[in-house]
Structure 1
Amino acid sequence: MTAHIRFIPVTQINDPLTLSIGLSGGSGTGKTYTALLMARGIAETKTGKKGAPIGYVDTENRRALHYKSAFPEMVHFDMKAVDDAGNMIGFGPERWIEVIDAAEAAGLPVVILDSFSHAWEGVGGVLDLHAQTLDRITGGNDSLKNQRSQLAWADVKPRYRRLVDRIVRAKCDIIICTRAKPVMQDLKTKQNSRATKTRRKDVPWDPASDGDLMFEMTTMVILDPSAPGCPVHQIKVADQFKSLLDPRRPMGEDTGRAMAEWAKGQGDAQRQKAILDRGREEARKGIASLNEYWNTDEGRQNRPILRTIFDELKSIADRADEALLSDEKDNPFSDQMTDEDAAAADYAEEQAKETAE
């Protein structure tokens, strides 16, 4: 029966959206400080109160407390791998679900999970659970592990998927910090030898997390040590956030505020997306058209937003020009003649003259 299903007009839906923001990077990239700044902007915008609480789940030996004087509104949870009695409890998916449940029960507007990499590669994390399950179903027989690895994943992955689902359904906003490790790149091409769900060919960092989670998030960026706090490598950034996440500018309180305003339905996201789409429309006509639009009054006014996707616009325009040249070359009715065609025409003319003589 479908009597309980009700479709609601969007004009009647006024609940704010929730944000899930992923910050990944190696040591020295500013993940913790950036997360706290963004969380402050989000919390104050959501509550309308200065000094609104920021939840912090700390798996890094209380590292966040280094910033307690700068962020007195932080409410801290020291998430250890052992319980108070010293028993190993690890960082399994169910513990993280309990943490999110507790954050919601406490009425926290935003919570930071740092480092969520423990859920993936820490003690009791997904990789550890997979290894334990594989040992159990193979009886420790190494020769069977390759062929039964997928069977072990079938036992572990549903537990992790429940955690991902809990993050997506969270009523509080969540900022997830994960570690990233450098990836060796070809010195000539600046490309990685092998791309995966979490490793793009053009990004020299590999996050210690799962690709399924990364692409469920509202926004996912990788920070670089050369520019701490700057969203240098943008793994998932929707158009409405392009102008907010400038790779040349560190993210901070204003970034959090703007994202929270968007979530409340009061941001400027739709207008900015229209500007980006307008730029792409001109770029599809080629470099000349893009350059002409860039120098119009409208283009000048929109340049600050268009610059956030400048490389993308140039790439689109270059491909458009290449396609146009290819079409003209293959067009038998084109007025432009290739060198080979000209040589063939000259030869035919010479032959005609000789025949006439």
Structure 2
Amino acid sequence: MQLTKAERHQVKLRIGLSGASGFGKTYSALLLAFGITDDWNKIAVIDTENGSASLYSHLGDYNTLTLNEPFNPERYIEAIETCEKASVEVIIIDSISHEWNGKGGCLELHELLGGRFQDWAKISPRHQAFIDKILHSSCHIITTVRRKIDYALDSDLNGKSKVIKHGTKEITREGFEYELTTNFELINDKHLVKASKDRTGLFMDKPEFVINSNTGKKLIDWCSKGVSIDKIKEEILKCETIEALKALYAKYPSFQKMTHPMILERKEQLDGLSGHLITNEEVVEPNKILEDGNSSIE
């Protein structure tokens, strides 16, 4: 274990857009994505909404991937990986509601197993794998989620039961929005949004507004402020000793998987310059930062 100074490194955006049908989720997501990339060709839409993404093809030459039923978590994961391999920068998943409540989605899979509480032990890991894929993707990801009116059976002052409307609720597993960088809720058919969750501090407790490409630019500017992998690479090349490499590796724990091969390469260069082959054990002691030359970083 090692304490490090708190520092916000460059991150990949995880943005949510939720709203009722016809409130402009797909259109808003596309404008956000363009603001992030400034290049329509670097945007891919995973479309589960019967081709709705293609309705806005006049905006630019973005890519689409049609995902039909069954909407199980594994098919969503496969679709995300297909987009990643195409080297896009922003993936729009429109929508993730089908993964939870669609044909072949988690709720239906649970019912097919018997619908018992213990049956979630088989479904929850599959759903979590889908969430993990979103969180750990190499691309920026925008998810859209359908909302429905949430009702509850309450008692009035006379003790009589009655149905009460409690606003709207996202059609996905509860708690998803807490994983996001920012979550926007579309509140009407005029495309007005409010932020229900915002780690950036750019939109929380601000008046409702209409999303446009400038919204995406604000978000990419926010997440780009910090340490980039290019900056770390420059620092690695400037290291003149093994101790300096060891300290630099420990300095950026969230980048260790990416910097591991760079660290080893620079170590070999220093070995060659010194004319002395320094063992991996000499590099890692006493902090065990690097183990074997081809080891993985946990």
Q: Deviation string for 1:98-149 (max 9, x for gaps)?
A: 1121222111110100121110101111101111111xxxxxxxxxx5xxx2
Which residue among 14, 19, 33 is the counterpart of 2:27?
33
Q: Is 1:248 the equivalent of 2:208? A: yes
1:71 is matched with which residue: 60, 79, 82?
Answer: 60
Instruction: Work out which of the residue numbers 238, 241, 249 in structure 1 matches 2:199.
Output: 238
The answer on whether the counterparts of 2:181 and 2:200 sit within 8 Å (CA) in structure 1 is no
Relative contact order higher in (CA < 8 Å, ≥ 6 apart): 2
From 80, 85, 94, the counterpart of 1:114: 94
C-alpha distance in 1 between matches for 2:197 and 2:5: 29
The structure where helix makes up a greater share of residues is: 1
**C-alpha contact (below 8 Å) 2:95/2:143 kept by paired residues:** yes
Query: Cα–Cα, structure 1 residues 215 and 117, in superposed 2: closer, same or farther, change >3 Å?
Result: same
Partner amino acid, structure 1, of 2:67:
M
Which residue number in structure 2 is paired with residue 342 of structure 1?
Answer: none
Q: Is 1:180–1:207's contact at 8 Å kept on the other side of the alignment?
A: yes
State the identity as a percent: 31
Matches within 5 A, 1:1-357: 16-44=10-38, 50-72=39-61, 74-81=62-69, 90-134=70-114, 149-184=116-151, 204-228=167-191, 230-232=192-194, 234-238=195-199, 240-242=201-203, 246-265=206-225
How does the TM-score come out when normalised to structure 1? 0.56
CA-CA distance at 1:6 after TM superposition: 7.7
Higher Rg of the two aligned structures: 1
Asked if the contact 1:40–1:52 (Cα under 8 Å) also holds between the matched residues in 2, the reply is: no
Give secondary structure in 2 for the equivalent of 1:231.
Answer: strand
Number of positions where the alignment pairs a residue of Structure 1 with one of Structure 2:
218
Runs of 4+ in 1 over 4 A off after TM superposition: 5-11
The offset of 1:247, in angstroms, is 3.9
Residues 97 and 104 from structure 1, CA distance in 2 versus in 1: closer, same or farther, beyond 3 angstroms? same
Report the secondary structure of 1:241's partner residue.
coil
The separation in 2 between residues aligned to 1:9 and 1:238, in whole angstroms, is 19
Amino acid at match of 2:86: A
Taking structure 2 as the reference length, the TM-score comes to 0.66
* Bigger fraction of residues in strand: 2
What residue ranges of structure 2 are gaps of 5+ in the alignment? 157-162, 227-298
RMSD: 2.6
